[in-house]
Amino acid sequence: MDNRRIGIFDSGLGGLTVMKELMALLPNESIVYFGDTGRIPYGTKSEETVLKYTRSDISFLNTFPLKAIVAACGTASSIALPKLSGQYDIPLLGVTKAASRRAAQVTKNGRVGVIGTTGTVRSGAYSAFIKEENPAIETVSVACPMFVPLVEYGYAEKEAAKMIAKDYLQTIMDSGADTLILGCTHYPLLRKVIQEVVGDSVSLINPGECVAQDIYEQLAKDDMLSDAPEKDQYQFYVSDVPAEFVRLGSMFLERPISGLVSRIDIEKYN
Ligand code: DGL
């Protein structure tokens, strides 16, 4: 048993969709969340910048006594995590690897689609991880940069989202992929529209669910699950004013953000 917290970070509030999965699967765990709201977006930034930001996000989280860190951000997981693995004393898990493993198990025809930010797609991390699982699987990846603002501005269920989704997802449909990875924190909130566009025969993979399962299995195997939550079970930190995070965050977490949200100066950590 180990009652230390799990740390989780993202470029902003999208990672709350991943936190939601951790909370559902691991109700006894205490979690500290960092959202880099002052430096979002990561998806359009260069590799060096995403690597630098990811390092500092992890340095900040490491000021807490943690037992594991989860990179909820699709972009950080794809660009930075392959370069940082093995550099920390505690396990560092990312959504990209977890979702790749699941997709390789789920596909029946050996064709997997991936959608994510420009940075995630450019990194090629999904196709590399999937190839490690099974070299015979073909991956087709498409960047969908407009999905993030559509979600944040409340357009996820509107006709505009469907029109844009049809356009973005045409290449995936043409490829014949039977499995599609929702490779960005915001995309689970577009799940309904995406499923409508690609059709019910395509299995959608939510990386948040996959990484929650991975961390559960890893903690259970090492006898490191918590037996009871700590006081202030969920703590939130952001690098810009908390107001917007609190307002929009409840949409991502699908419950009010009841824990404490504090602002920190992320530039102090590197
Ligand atoms: N959280 C990011 C991701 O999952 C999306 C927002 C951003 O570009 O920072 O890639």
If the chain, 270 residues long, is cut into consecutive pieces of 10 residues, what is the mean pLDDT of each piece?
97 96 97 97 98 98 97 98 94 97 98 98 98 98 97 93 98 98 97 98 98 97 95 95 90 80 95
Q: Which amino acid is at 19?
A: M
Concerning whether 73 is annotated as a catalytic residue, the answer is yes
If asked whether residues 137 and 190 sit together in one domain, one would say: yes
30 lines ligand 1 (CB under 6 A): no
Query: CA–CA separation, 265 vs 89, rounded Å?
Result: 24
What spacing in Å lies between the alpha carbon of 184 and ligand 1's midpoint? 6
73 lines ligand 1 (CB under 6 A): yes
If asked whether residues 42 and 77 sit together in one domain, one would say: yes
Output the pLDDT for position 85: 87
Output the pLDDT for position 21: 97
Is the pTM of the predicted complex or chain greater than 0.95?
yes
**Which residues, in sequence order, are CB contacts of 92 under 8 Å at separation 6+?**
58, 68, 69, 71, 81, 84, 85
Contact between residue 68 and residue 218 where contact means Cβ atoms under 8 Å apart? yes
Write the CATH number for 33: 3.40.50.1860
If asked whether residues 29 and 158 sit together in one domain, one would say: no
Backbone angles phi, psi at 41, to 5 degrees: -90, 155
Concerning whether 144 is annotated as a catalytic residue, the answer is no
Domains in the chain: how many in total? 2
Q: Which amino acid is at 58?
A: I
Which range of residues forms the domain containing residue 59? 5-94+209-269
If asked whether residues 17 and 90 sit together in one domain, one would say: yes
Ligand 1 atom 7 nearest Cα: 41
Active-site residue (options: 66, 70, 73, 238) = 73
